[in-house]
Amino acid sequence: MQLIFLLPLVLAFFACAPLPPLGPAGGPPSPQPEPKPQEQEEPEKAEEPQIGERRIIDIGIGLRKEAAVIECPEKKWEFKAGSNLGKTEIETEGDCKYGDKIYRGNWSVLSTDSGLTIINTLPIEDYLKGVVPHEIGRLKQEEFEALKAQAVAARTYAYHHLGSRKSQGFDIYADTRDQVYNGKNEEDSLASEAILATDGLVIKYNGSLIEAYYHSTCGGKTETSEVWGQESKPYLVAVSDSANGRVFCELSKYMKWEEKFGREELVSLFQKNAMDARADKTFSFSKIDQIIVTEKFPGGRAKRLVVFTNKGSFEVFGDRIRRLFAREGKFLPSIPLNISQDKGIFTVMGSGYGHGIGMCQMGTIARAREGQTFEQILKAYYTGVSIEKY
C-alpha cells in the first residue's frame, strides 16, 4: 500500500511483506522469500477514474535518464537526453527489453530538459503479473488465497492511482513509491493464476475505490492513515490482527525488534536526517538529553516524538520518525513503540515492519494457511468494504 526503496529480504522460514506464519497444522513454515515491504512517500491525491474508463496503465520505469535503449523484436530504439524533445511512441507486437528486464506492452519515451522518462504501457491485468510476486513473494498452493488477496489489493491500488503522476507523464511508479513492478522476468505461474481468478475485482467503500495500502508485518495491530498525517479514512482503522490469543504475523522476524544507538551517534544522525524526517525545527546541537514519545496512535505506535537537546527541542510526527533514526540509508523497521536510555545508550523498540496501514501481508499468508478466503482476509484489514467487479 504505503513507502518508498527495495528491500529484498529473505526469510529463513516463511513470509508476509516482511516474515513467516505457521502452516495450517501449526508446524514450521516452509522456506520462501520474505515479501518486500512498501515504503511509499506520502502519496499524492489521485482522481478516481470513471468506471470502465481505463483498463490500461502507464508505468514510470525510468526517470531523468541520460540515455535509454529499448530492444523490441522488430527494432532496437536508442534515445539520448537533450535530443528530439517531446514524446516518442513505440508500439510493438512482442515483449521488449529495457535494462536487464523484459516487459510486456508498449512504450513511450518523453524527452524534456530534465532528461528522459521511460514509460511502459499495458493492461492492468498484465501489469499485476509483474507486481504480485514481488510484493508478497512466491507462495505455495496452500497460500493461494493470500495471492488472491494481494492481487485484489494491488489492482485496487492501481485503479485508484490512475492519473496520480499525471504531471510526470505516467500513472504510477515502478518502485516502492507505489508498487514494485519488475516486468515479465520473474512472473510466477501461481500468482498469475490468482490474478486470473480475481479478474477485475476491486475493493470499494460506499461505492468508491479505496486506498488499498498494505505493508509487511503489523505486529499484532494495524494503524490508521494518520501515520502519514492524512485525514483518517473509515476503512483504514486500527484493527487487531490476532485470534485465540495468537497474532497472525507472529512468526515474522520483525514481530518484535530492538535497535540501540549511542548518544553521539544520534546527535550525528538526527542532524543529518532532520529535514527528511520533517522535524518542526532544525538547528545545530551537540548533546541529546532526552527522547520522549508524547503521543501515540490507536495501534500503539509513536505519533509524536520530542527530542530535547542542549540547544532546544524539536518534534517529529508519525511515520517520519522512522527516517529520523535512519543509518546507512536504512529506516527503522516500523514506527517505534517505546524508547528508553541507560548510560548514554538509547534503546528503540518496536513491533512490525512497514507503515502499518491496511493489509498485513504476513498476516494475510497466515490467514490463508488457516483456511480464510481472500474476501475474509481483505475485510479483516479494510473495515466495512465490499469486493466488486470493476
In this predicted structure, what is the pLDDT of residue 30? 36
Extract the C-alpha cell encoding 274: 532532520
Query: How many Cβ atoms sit within 10 Å of the Cβ of residue 185?
Result: 12
Contacts of 274-281 spanning 24+ positions with Cβ under 8 A: 274/314, 274/324, 276/320, 276/323, 276/326, 277/316, 277/320, 277/321, 277/323, 277/324, 278/316, 278/317, 278/320, 279/314, 279/315, 279/316, 279/324, 280/314, 280/315, 280/316, 281/312, 281/314, 281/315
Does some domain include residue 49? no
Does some domain include residue 38? no
Both 156 and 303 in one domain: the answer is: no
Q: Are 100 and 78 in contact (CB under 8 A)?
A: no
Q: Are 217 and 79 in contact (CB under 8 A)?
A: no
Of 16, 20, 29, 13, whose CA–CA distance to 251 is shortest? 20
- Does an H or E element contain 345, and which? strand 345-350
In this predicted structure, what is the pLDDT of residue 24? 27
Both 105 and 176 in one domain: the answer is: yes
**91-143 pLDDT tens trace:** 998 999 999 999 999 999 999 989 999 999 999 999 999 999 999 999 999 99
Both 331 and 365 in one domain: the answer is: no
pLDDT under 50: residue ranges of the chain:
1-33, 37-38, 46, 48-51
Both 200 and 284 in one domain: the answer is: no
In this predicted structure, what is the pLDDT of residue 39? 52
- SS3 of the chain: helix, strand, coil, percent, to 5: 20, 30, 50
How far does Cα 228 stand from its chain's mean position?
Answer: 13
**145-160 pLDDT tens trace:** 999 999 999 999 999 9
Domain housing 296: 257-350
Both 276 and 192 in one domain: the answer is: no
Does some domain include residue 236? no
Does some domain include residue 199? yes
In this predicted structure, what is the pLDDT of residue 243? 92
What sections of 293-339 are H helices per DSSP?
A: 321-324
Both 293 and 370 in one domain: the answer is: no
Both 66 and 197 in one domain: the answer is: yes
Does some domain include residue 11? no
Does some domain include residue 227? no
In this predicted structure, what is the pLDDT of residue 99? 94
Both 83 and 197 in one domain: the answer is: yes
What's the CA gap between 290 and 81, in Å, rounded? 50
Domains identified in the chain, total number: 2
Both 60 and 208 in one domain: the answer is: yes
Does some domain include residue 239? no
Both 202 and 62 in one domain: the answer is: yes
In this predicted structure, what is the pLDDT of residue 84? 82
Residue 286's identity, in one-letter code, is S
Both 70 and 159 in one domain: the answer is: yes
Across 197-252, the runs of DSSP E, i.e. the strands, are: 201-205, 208-209, 214-215, 242-243, 246-247
Both 368 and 335 in one domain: the answer is: no
Average pLDDT, the chain: 88
